[in-house]
Amino acid sequence: MCGPALPIIAAGLAVAGQGISTVSAMHQAQYQRQAALRQAELERSAARDAQDETTRAIQDQYRQMAAEEGRQRVAAAAGGVGVDFGTAADAVDSTRLVGDARVTDLAAQGTRAVRQADAGAAFAMGRASAASAQRQTALLSGLVDMSQSVLSGARQYGAMRARIG
């Protein structure tokens, strides 16, 4: 009586082990997905921060340009010179050109920072998607493995039962 029960017990233990392994793999994949989603959100936040910082830096640059131009105008006026032409006008124009070049550099740096953060967010979302697929694969693979163990146990039980009679 005990002989035919061994394949059933062995199959049951195999199914239980595979079930535990499957659940563990699914939990691990779910954790990886959640971590990747959190990383993507942090990257998006970094992109927003980079945009805000770029806007502030550009505004500061325009303020500095305006302040410098104001000082130049005051200095020119104190010397009795207008800034509409001549050397004084050249100095104001030079201030604007240098300031505009700095604004262009700041905008380019901000764009690079946002692009880098966006790429990081996209990569993290890809990892989240892969982890989700990995979770589904773990479930399906576990179900197949458990089914194979049940079928193998049933075959062994049937063969043993046939020999015993």
Q: What is the pLDDT along the chain (165 residues), one digit of tens a residue?
A: 456 778 888 889 999 999 999 999 999 999 999 999 999 999 999 999 999 999 999 999 999 999 998 888 888 888 887 777 778 788 888 889 999 999 999 999 999 999 999 999 999 999 999 999 999 999 999 999 999 999 998 898 888 888 886
Do 29 and 138 contact (CB within 8 A), yes or no?
yes
Look at residue 98 in the predicted model and tell me its pLDDT.
93
Q: Provide the pLDDT for residue 77.
A: 82
Rounded Cα–Cα distance for residues 105 and 120 (Å): 23
Domain borders along the chain are: 2-164
- Neighbouring residues of 69: CB distance < 8 A, sequence distance ≥ 6: 92, 95, 96
- Chain mean pLDDT for the chain: 91
pTM of full prediction above 0.75: no
pLDDT digits (tens, 9 = 90+) for 70-85: 888 888 888 887 777 7
